[in-house]
A and B are shown apart, each in its own frame.
Chain A
Amino acid sequence: MPFFVFVGLFLLLPTAIVLVGSMTAPGGGFSLTNFAGINKPYMVKAFSLSLSVSAVSAVAGAFFGAVLAYAVVTGNPSGLLRRSIMSASGVLAQFGGVALAFAFIATISTVGFVTVFLKDHGIDIYAKGVWLYDAPGITLIYVYFQIPLMVLVFLPALDGIRPQWREATESLGGSTWHYWRYVAGPLLAPAFLGCTLLLFANAFSAYATVAALLTNGGVYVPLQIQALLTGETEQSQPGLAQALALSMVIIVVVVMTLYALLQRRTSRWLR
């Protein structure tokens, strides 16, 4: 079937190239020297920065996304509000990349709309220096696409919560706190955790936004790969790029596996 030929050529073959290439020494033959290249201070820093930005944006996105999803789910299930928020989330969750970087430059760069507005009212968000192009700024930008993604993936779990469970809690004398602590909380916890992991993988895989924001490069794993792929100084280290790529794949695979396990656990109660 043409489908298998195609995915074999353009999905499995590239993956195999990365896999084999990362474990091949410059002169040929099996070796792990490429991975030794990761064990350098700036590479370690790139990984820790990428991981921390992804983690913080995932947790923040998961929290606010869950709150928004709850606000949506308590409304009319077939109402216009819910349908518009769902399709807006569909657009915004995909709204990464160059346009998103421009959106935040237009909003909170030093000449941005919000920055100027706040400055006119006596608030200087950059009193301690411009943070838009550093980890805090990039985290904030990532939250912009994390929240809608959370709404999309967490809403089905919230839909699974039945009003009868709350009524049962109340008829047994439980308060709102009891309901969230002993009924809804434990039921939603695996879904919430799983979705947070998905958000983490999503942020960790992102490239275009940081690339468009930090045109001069930066200390993030995807930008290191970019530098190795497009480097004109030609110390040509395709092996190192492949090792970095493989490390990213491994991290994402681990996270996504945990996500799948938690999803299975979620579906036991909420369907």
Chain B
Amino acid sequence: MNRSRRLKLRVFRTVVLLVMGAFFLVPIGAMLEFSTRGNSVTAPRTLEAWVQIAQTPGLVKGIVTSLQLAVITSLGMLVLLLPTMVWVRLRLPQISRIVEFICLLPLTVPAIALVVGLKPLYIWININVTPSVLALAFAYLILVLPYSYRSLDAGLAAIDLKTLSEAARSLGAGWGTVMLRIVIPNMPSAILNASLLSVALVLGEYTVASLLNFQNLQVEVAYVGLTNASTSTAVAVGALLLAFVLLMVLTLVGGRLQQQHYIPGQRA
């Protein structure tokens, strides 16, 4: 690469990164600014809106509900998806395309369309099973399928599942032992990745909850926003920053975990 081109490239990169950085950071900064405004134009900065979060019962309830849903959904996703994917890889490779198709299907059925079909189902669940908001986890398990599938599939592709499971089985391990002590410890970053993506999706979910008349975090945030915009903005930016920290941790830890993968022919 000659010198003038290298210089041009450097200028191009700097300009692009600065402009994009501004475009993405300014709205987040504006939320922080907005949430710390006083009541009048000249009033000093105040954390009143942030204090108000704890004093708004709906918001606290929404936060707790969404956190519960996040935990249930990511655990449920692992319990439902991981054994199925392992089983299909080992025993039924001929149906792997079908499983992939099903898992990626939610990408082509917009949540707003899915909810139209879920509505009668949830009316039935409401009456006959439970009116609890936690029933939302069923719908969320569907929404997280594509992301979890991709993450887990990449994790499973990176380990020599067949050799590992056969070795374990020949040493007398049952399927439960294979799952818990062989598969899961060998793909920590994929599992972490799938779980965190699920958590992020559930914490930000609004469409399904609001249209099925459930109060989760985002529904409460939108509702409180109608009367007290700065408190809602504080919760919204708080949730966003939390998601950032979680995923940054994942990137840093993930880089390290990746190296611990079992690689055939190498020392782990």
Q: Tell me if chain B binds chain A.
A: yes
A86 to B255, CA, bound (A): 13
Residue contact A207 to B110, C-beta cutoff 8 Å: yes
A1 vs B88: C-alpha distance in the bound complex, in angstroms? 11
A14-B118, A98-B222, A147-B20 known; A103-B28 Cβ under 8 A: yes
Chain A residues positioned under 8 Å from B117 (CB to CB): 13-18, 21, 242, 245
CB distance from A243 to the nearest CB of B (A): 10
- The majority secondary structure among interface residues of chain A is helix
Q: How many residues of A contact B (CB 8 A)?
A: 73
Distance from B55 Cβ to chain A, minimum over Cβ atoms (Å):
19
Residues of A235-271 whose CB lies within 8 A of B: 241-242, 244-246, 248-249, 252-253, 256
CA distance A105 to B142 in the complex (A): 31
User: Does B229 have its Cβ within 8 Å of any Cβ on chain A?
Assistant: yes
Check A51 for interface membership: any CB of B closer than 8 A.
no
Known: A87-B248, A106-B31, A113-B33. A13 touches B121 (CB 8 A): yes
Contacts of B200 in A (CB 8 A): 91, 94
Interface centre among B34, B116, B141, B240 (most CB of A within 10 A): B116
8 A Cβ contacts from B207-264 to A: 207, 210-211, 213, 218, 221-222, 225-226, 229, 232-233, 236-237, 239-240, 243-244, 247-248, 250-251, 255
- Complexed CA–CA distance, A39 and B165 (Å): 57
Residues A10 and B142 in contact, CB atoms below 8 Å apart: yes
State the majority secondary structure of interface residues on B. Answer: helix
A1-17 interface code vs B (CB 8 A; 1 in, 0 out): 11100110111011111
Residues of A within 8 Å of B243, CB to CB, are 91, 94-95
Interface size on B, residues (CB 8 A): 74
B-contact 0/1 string along A69-107, CB 8 Å cutoff? 011001100000101101110111011111100111111
B60 at the interface (CB under 8 A from A): no
Q: In the complex where A10-B121, A96-B204 touch, is A229 in contact with B211 (Cβ < 8 A)?
A: yes
Are A18 and B113 in contact, with the CB atoms below 8 A? yes
Digitize B95-139: 1 where CB-to-A-CB distance is under 8 Å, 0 elsewhere. Answer: 000010010011111111111111111000000000000000011
Residue of B nearest to A16 (CB): B117
Q: How far is the CB of A126 from chain B (nearest CB, A)?
A: 16
| Of A3, A87, A229, A246, the contact of B247 (CB 8 Å cutoff) | A87
Question: Chain A nearest CB: distance from B82 CB in Å?
Answer: 10
**In the complex, residue of chain B having the shortest beta-carbon distance to the beta carbon of A11:** B142
**When A and B form their complex, which 3 residue pairs have the shortest distance between CB atoms, in order from nearest?**
A14-B117, A205-B110, A106-B34
Subset of 9 A-B contacts with CB under 8 Å: A9-B138, A17-B121, A71-B20, A87-B251, A99-B221, A103-B236, A106-B233, A208-B206, A256-B107
